[in-house]
Copies of this chain bind each other. A is one copy, B any other.
Amino acid sequence: MNRNPLQRVALFFLLATVSAHAQIVPDDVKAGAKALRDQAMKDTIAYELLASLTMEVGPRSAGSAGDAAAVAWAIQMMKGLGFQNVRTEEVLVPHWQRGSISAHITAPFPQSLVATSLGGSPATPEHGIQAEVVRVESLNELRALTSDDLAGKIAFVDHVMERAKDGDGYSAASRIRSCGHYAAAERGALATIIRSAGTSVHRVPHTGSMLNNSIPADIPAIALANADADLLSYQVNTGEKVTVRLHSTAQNLPKMKSANVIGEAPGRGALADEIVLLGAHLDSWDLGTGAIDDGAGVAIVTAAAKLILNHADAPRRTIRVVLFANEEFGLDGAKQYNENLATDIDKHVIGLEADFGAGRVWKFSSRVADDALTIIDEIHALLEPIGIERGKNTASGGADLSPMRKAGMPVFSFTQDGTYYFDYHHTPDDTIDKIDRDDLNQNVAAYVTAAFIAANIEQDFGRLTPDTRRKRSCSADDDDWES
């Protein structure tokens, strides 16, 4: 699939000799993509898949009974839909159990707090922790404290996440979740409390992994619902000494076996061994039923692939759906998939991931070789009628595709409207009623359009320069890391 230098030179001259608007996508491929796009807009399969996954399997965090049920569900579902080469790929995953939690302000004004343990948190001692609260508003304020300030106390990092269409506020908020407790523990804190890394104003706390690069946590960490963080903050701001009592039975257990679930719409002819990768993750956090994160993604990519599978002609390249294990708590499925691929990564001509709910897609971005940008324009022409802008060629592709992108696989990204995503994400509120069927279908339409074209044209998208940077740490120098 990597063209040899002579082919590249020939292609260059071919492109140079036709007009600047040379058409790479043949008319019949465009017509096929347009028909599938329009079919997707009025289809019901994505919603049905999502209902089945959320209502029948429900919560499915790594290593849980729900995780195993989800794998079984996905295999049966893929076979039932007629996908080929349906198989699993074993993945070892961490197994963290939430257990119970209680959090109370004991002074100056006793009140209960709605809280949840963060993924990876150890339990409190059996009798709980009761200590004074020290409130800061940022990671830098926390880092500026010493053990004189924090030893024997509870650190409360009270950062209010900003709402944004692109969900940008999550970056700073989740960094506090995955780095704050290390800094607090170094300074002798007994536990960390954070304000939920979410925008919900409801009494539903936001969970998520507290680990950075899988480094274990020394002290328990919990998140408060926003209203409860307001309450704690109010009491701290009275100037009186505020004490909190925490009790958690969270625990880290031995690793468990889980699996990536894979199914294909096989290609035909000379390009059949090349792969258009459609990815989403099968696991979810345990508080909700994993509708927006990432049941929607599972539904979107599966429905898109199913539409191609049902198309009159088989695609030239193989459409491969991978439902990754454990995205949420370590990206193990993606890492395992990439590791198993070895040099087969070069057969992956493009990757598309869906993992940001089902808000309407408003932007189509790419990260492809420069000489493939004309194709992006041609795909975009078919996406514009469903309300999608043209983005830049700097797409990240998403978390589960990152190991493959770093190894050189080009990616597309569909940016969804995330204005309300963080009202539900990682909370008990992540349930199917938060999904709009028309928006979900518009997502399927976008994915099927791009995937169908990528699978049926002669040209590919080149390769990306491998990304060999070290992993992002919790150092302040890495606070503004771009993925």
Contacts and interface: CB of A to CB of B under 8 A. Distances in A.
Given A51-B234, A230-B432, A289-B111, A204 B204 contact: yes
A358 to B, nearest CB: 15
Contacts of A434: 201
Contacts of A92: none
Given A114-B428, A428-B203, A55 B433 contact: no
Contacts of A234: 51, 55
A434 B227 CA distance: 9
Interface string A32-67: 000000000000000000010001111100000000
Interface string A414-445: 00000000000001110111100000000000
Contact of A289 (B231, B235, B289, B428): B231
A433 B227 contact: yes
Contacts of A433: 201, 226-227, 230
Given A202-B202, A202-B204, A109 B431 contact: no
A119 interface: no
B109 A227 contact: no
Given A58-B111, A111-B289, A289-B231, A431 B203 contact: yes
B203 A55 contact: no
Nearest to A108: B56
A167 interface: no
A231 B59 CA distance: 13
A288 interface: yes
A434 B201 CA distance: 8
A241 to B, nearest CB: 15
Interface residues of A, number: 30
Interface string A111-132: 1101000000000000000000
Give this chain's copy count. 2
A431 B227 contact: yes
Nearest to A51: B234
A17 B119 CA distance: 80
Contacts of A200: 202
Contacts of A204: 202-204
Counting chain B CB atoms within 10 Å of each CB, which of A203, A231, A433, A434 scores highest? A203
A202 B429 contact: yes
B109 A56 contact: yes
Contacts of A201: 429, 433-434
Given A56-B109, A428-B114, A288 B203 contact: yes
Interface in A201-245: 201-204, 226-227, 230-231, 234-235
B55 A431 contact: no
Contacts of A235: 55
A329 to B, nearest CB: 20
Contact of A109 (B55, B114, B427): B55
A4 B428 CA distance: 64
A387 B266 CA distance: 65
A288 B228 CA distance: 10
Contacts of A429: 201-203, 227
Most B C-beta atoms less than 10 A away, residue of A55, A57, A58, A204: A55
Contacts of A114: 428
A207 to B, nearest CB: 13
Contacts of A203: 202, 204, 288, 427-429, 431
A357 to B, nearest CB: 15
A114 B112 CA distance: 18
Contacts of A202: 200, 202-204, 429
Nearest to A55: B234
Interface in A67-125: 109, 111-112, 114
A58 B109 contact: yes
6 contacts: A55-B234, A55-B235, A111-B289, A114-B428, A202-B429, A231-B431
Given A51-B234, A202-B202, 16 more contacts: A55-B109, A55-B235, A57-B109, A58-B112, A59-B111, A59-B112, A200-B202, A201-B429, A201-B434, A202-B204, A203-B288, A203-B427, A203-B429, A203-B431, A227-B429, A227-B433
Top 5 A-B pairs, shortest CB-CB distance:
A203-B428, A227-B431, A202-B202, A56-B109, A58-B111
